[in-house]
Structure 1
Amino acid sequence: MKFVILATGTRGDVQPFVALAQGLAGAGHEAVLAAPGSFEPFARGHGVSFHPMGSDYAALLESPEGKAALGGNPVKMVQVLRQTVFPMMRRMLDDAWEAAQGAGAVIYHPKALAGVHLAERLGVPCFIGAPVPVVVPTAAFPAPAFVGRSLGGPLNRLTYYAVRSGSRPFRGMIDEWRRTRLGLGPRREGEYTHRGRPVPVLHAFSRHVVPPPADWPPEAIVTGYWFPRPAREWAPPPALTAFLEAGPPPVYVGFGSMSGIDREGINRMVVAALARAGMRGVLATGTGEAPAPLSDTVLAIPGAPHDWLFPRMAAVVHHGGAGTTAAGLAAGRPTVICPATTDQPFWGHIVHRLGVGPAPIPRRQLTAERLAEAVRAATGDPEMQRRAAALGEAIRAEDGVAQAVAEILRRVGALAG
């Protein structure tokens, strides 16, 4: 059977779906990942069939237009929606339809708006893949990216309906696309139902990190994390190997694909914070072609696979994206999260609640002094280190991809039967 997998967003959004495609292909099925074209080398490098879909969100966020819209200027926001986001979304819908030809099932990230519409047009099952619990309402906690603290049961549930209405500005465009490209009228069902039943939601995280809330329905499944298998062993640059061998394990610091960062200012602050904490450090800058020293004890690197790097660290410091958080927890290392937006505060709260990291430091409050204090807590607390190691062992014992594939095949088989 052919499975088409739709994913869009940043690296943390797309990477789990690369792993799922590997799992479905390993089970003897055809799996095609449709994602922004910038992810093609990454997907194909992991042996995954790829179809480009839409434009690059990360590039939009880093563009002058995207930064102006994120800055809260309502006029700029409307301009970006009309001139950039709407054409991007329409192209994503068209590309998804091309990728879906011949598919026997559709699996999609919640941001990939085409998913349920393609399943309706093709008459096939569909599944939502969710690296973050933003889809299924619960009274246990508010929708990540909506608010940073619990509002109480009823209000917590309401936040999910606000998130679910996020596609409303695109409804007219989607209806026009359904009519002209899919030959369908306006959708009669909600976006989270298909054939009169809730769309199954496969949550790509560990139940040891976010236990399934008691009020979730059977269609909400927690599988464990979806980590891709490397197609080949990664060879670190000699400068990184030499740095790691030259002293005790350093602290990793990296802030991912967040936009609007003063990179030079962040570099200076990190060097000062690590010096205050008395720790060596590896700073992932996302720029440059080779490792370069920032000081005698801090090495800047363009990047490195987290599954290779993090187990060699004493602790990890990052922005709190879902993918980076997963990698740090799986490595069994204490985690310091400096959140800025969307689901990052949620993961910062989870890490602190589990006792595997200090309280998160919001990005706007981040200083060398605060970061140094958090690093000292993460690297100097034996009980925190023990809890982090135990959590990492539990996560690594799961096989989230296998669980997801088994759930998908079971449900597809039941519908076919």
Structure 2
Amino acid sequence: MRFLLAFNGTRGDVQPAVVVGSELQRRGHDVLVGAPPNLCEFVASAGLATAPFGYDTHAHMNSEVVRTKLRTGGPRQRWQAFTEVRDLGWSQAVADMAELHTGAQAIVTGFVTEQIAAPFAEATGAACISLHHAPIRPNGSVSPVPAALSGLPPVANRASWWLTESAMWLLTKDRQNALRRELGVAGTVPRAPTDRLEIQAYDPRLCPELVDEWSDLRPFVGFLGLAAEQRARIGADTGDTDLLEWIAAGTPPVYFGFGSMPVPDPAAVVDAMVRACARLGVRALISNGWAGLEVTERADVRVVGALDHERILPLCRAAVHHGGAGTTAAVLRAGIPSLVCWVGSDQPYWGAQCARHGIGSATRLKGLTADTLVTEMTAVLTPERARTARELAAELITPEQAVRHCADLIEEHAEEGGPARRGDR
């Protein structure tokens, strides 16, 4: 079978496509991965065919609309920024999808690009399959509002989700319906999908109540992580000998890394991290990521670029990170506590889950100070948190099990086809 895996976003959005695509290719399928232009080289390094899909996300994450208007503007400016982000790259992604989807029996995509993938799949009778990295459908357990992730009654959570879905549908239905007409797809876009396989690519151990609530169309497979062979192909398993020697020469450091997230005031954040570690008497291992953090190294502070999470994190005492699903999964598997300094999207949810399960804490990245870090890190750096983190790590679905289950589901659903093909039987 031919599979198109079409994802746009940061590396955390695209890496699961590499994991799943590699497994499907290993099984003998024809796989093409559509990815942001800035991440096509990363996909190709894993041995997968790739083509540009959508806009350059690195440039976008560091643009004025994201770094300034969306994060720090007033209500009116934020609304204008939201609509700009909503519309950014739509035409480009539609044009790219028109080229990429030909002959695919299934289109596997993410939440960001479902609105584009679904009508193309429906037009050809292909299956449309989504990978979700956090709860983004109505449920009674989790609120879509970051400030109210827990504590609300189920009826209030479901009402919040209904309002959120309705608002998004009203904002995007016109362009979705225009695309459907252009592709010759009958009917209008529903407020919410009802017959699409939506694979939950995170661990059910962290949210058993969702497993009980959701139907078989939202199966949980576990976190999708790179296998050793994949890490070797993309060069992610190369150990920095000097770094390993630095780690071994002292007490386990605290890891700091914010992945692809733009840091609003990098100098202030770096100052807060260094001063907090000095006050707590711990060493700091700081990863630059896309944030471009400028740090002066000293004996107790080490600065690195990209590093091998699977190899380095287990050597650390704790991790301070943005709470993206991929980084959260790597920290969970390493069996160390987390302090999630979230920006937005699904990050508040993962911060709340770390706190709920006794393996961490959470706070906003915006306005982060040394005092805040000292308070939160003091709560995280305890023997009890460390023990709980190790115990939970042993209970997680392994990456190998997760990708096998995910690929099985994709194959099965692709053979059934989309609504159009199923309706012909």
Q: Tell me the distance in 1 between the aligned counterparts of 2:144 and 2:82.
A: 24
Picking from 217, 228, 236, the partner of 1:219 is 217
Question: 1:405 deviation in Å?
Answer: 0.9
Q: Tell me the distance in 2 between the aligned counterparts of 1:185 and 1:414.
A: 21
Question: 1:240 deviation in Å?
Answer: 1.9
Deviations 1:80-108 (A, max 9, x none): 57777535112112212211111001111
Question: Please, which moves more after superposition, 286-295 or 138-147?
Answer: 286-295
Q: Verify the 8 A CA contact 2:264 2:366 in the aligned structure 1.
A: no
Deviations 1:6-43 (A, max 9, x none): 21222222222221111211222122221211111211
Q: Tell me the distance in 1 between the aligned counterparts of 2:86 and 2:143.
A: 27
Question: Please, which moves more after superposition, 387-396 or 82-91?
Answer: 82-91
Question: 1:400 deviation in Å?
Answer: 1.0
2:323 corresponds to which residue? 320
Q: Tell me the distance in 2 between the aligned counterparts of 1:167 and 1:36.
A: 25
2:188 corresponds to which residue? 187
Q: Tell me the distance in 2 between the aligned counterparts of 1:306 and 1:162.
A: 38
1:107 corresponds to which residue? 108
For 1:202, the aligned partner's letter is I
2:406 corresponds to which residue? 404
Say if 2:266 is the partner of 1:251: no
Q: Tell me the distance in 2 between the aligned counterparts of 1:147 and 1:382.
A: 29
2:349 corresponds to which residue? 346
Question: 1:293 deviation in Å?
Answer: 5.0
1:53 corresponds to which residue? 53
For 2:101, the aligned partner's letter is A
Query: Where does the alignment leave 5 or more consecutive residues of structure 1 unmatched?
Result: none
Q: Tell me the distance in 2 between the aligned counterparts of 1:205 and 1:394.
A: 13
SS in 2 for 1:337: strand
Query: Where does the alignment leave 5 or more consecutive residues of structure 2 unmatched?
Result: none
For 1:184, the aligned partner's letter is V
Question: 1:298 deviation in Å?
Answer: 0.6
2:207 corresponds to which residue? 210
Q: Verify the 8 A CA contact 1:333 1:388 in the aligned structure 2.
A: yes
2:139 corresponds to which residue? 138
Picking from 295, 299, 304, the partner of 1:301 is 304
Closer/same/farther in 2, CA of residues 212 and 108 from structure 1, 3 Å limit:
farther
SS in 2 for 1:390: helix
Question: 1:115 deviation in Å?
Answer: 1.8
Say if 2:339 is the partner of 1:336: yes
TM, length-normalised to structure 2: 0.87
Q: Tell me the distance in 2 between the aligned counterparts of 1:266 and 1:84.
A: 25
Closer/same/farther in 2, CA of residues 411 and 286 from structure 1, 3 Å limit:
closer
Say if 2:239 is the partner of 1:241: no
1:393 corresponds to which residue? 394
Deviations 1:132-168 (A, max 9, x none): 1112x21122236584334211121122234434254
What is the percent sequence identity of the aligned residues?
28
Closer/same/farther in 2, CA of residues 83 and 409 from structure 1, 3 Å limit:
closer
1:159 corresponds to which residue? 160
2:127 corresponds to which residue? 125
Deviations 1:300-352 (A, max 9, x none): 11221322221221111111111111110011111111223222221111001
Picking from 283, 286, 292, the partner of 1:283 is 286
Q: Tell me the distance in 1 between the aligned counterparts of 2:317 and 2:295.
A: 20
Question: 1:373 deviation in Å?
Answer: 3.5
TM, length-normalised to structure 1: 0.89
Question: 1:369 deviation in Å?
Answer: 2.6
1:374 corresponds to which residue? 376
Question: 1:2 deviation in Å?
Answer: 0.8
Q: Verify the 8 A CA contact 2:142 2:149 in the aligned structure 1.
A: no
Q: Verify the 8 A CA contact 1:100 1:118 in the aligned structure 2.
A: yes
User: Structure 1 segments of 4 or more deviating over 6 A?
Assistant: 81-84, 287-292
Q: Verify the 8 A CA contact 1:65 1:76 in the aligned structure 2.
A: no
Question: 1:72 deviation in Å?
Answer: 3.3
Matches within 5 A, 1:51-90: 51-70=51-70, 71-73=72-74, 76=77, 86=87, 88-90=89-91
Closer/same/farther in 2, CA of residues 297 and 60 from structure 1, 3 Å limit:
same
Q: Verify the 8 A CA contact 1:36 1:54 in the aligned structure 2.
A: yes
Question: Please, which moves more after superposition, 381-390 or 121-130?
Answer: 381-390
Say if 2:172 is the partner of 1:170: yes
Say if 2:268 is the partner of 1:270: no
SS in 1 for 2:177: helix
Q: Tell me the distance in 2 between the aligned counterparts of 1:361 and 1:339.
A: 6
Q: Tell me the distance in 2 between the aligned counterparts of 1:302 and 1:383.
A: 31
For 1:126, the aligned partner's letter is C
2:97 corresponds to which residue? 96
Closer/same/farther in 2, CA of residues 225 and 82 from structure 1, 3 Å limit:
closer
Q: Verify the 8 A CA contact 2:258 2:289 in the aligned structure 1.
A: no
Q: Tell me the distance in 1 between the aligned counterparts of 2:204 and 2:291.
A: 37
Q: Tell me the distance in 1 between the aligned counterparts of 2:112 and 2:51.
A: 17
Deviations 1:156-184 (A, max 9, x none): 1122234434254333233333333x233
Q: Verify the 8 A CA contact 2:334 2:393 in the aligned structure 1.
A: yes
Q: Verify the 8 A CA contact 2:262 2:291 in the aligned structure 1.
A: no
Aligned length: 409
Q: Tell me the distance in 1 between the aligned counterparts of 2:214 and 2:322.
A: 28
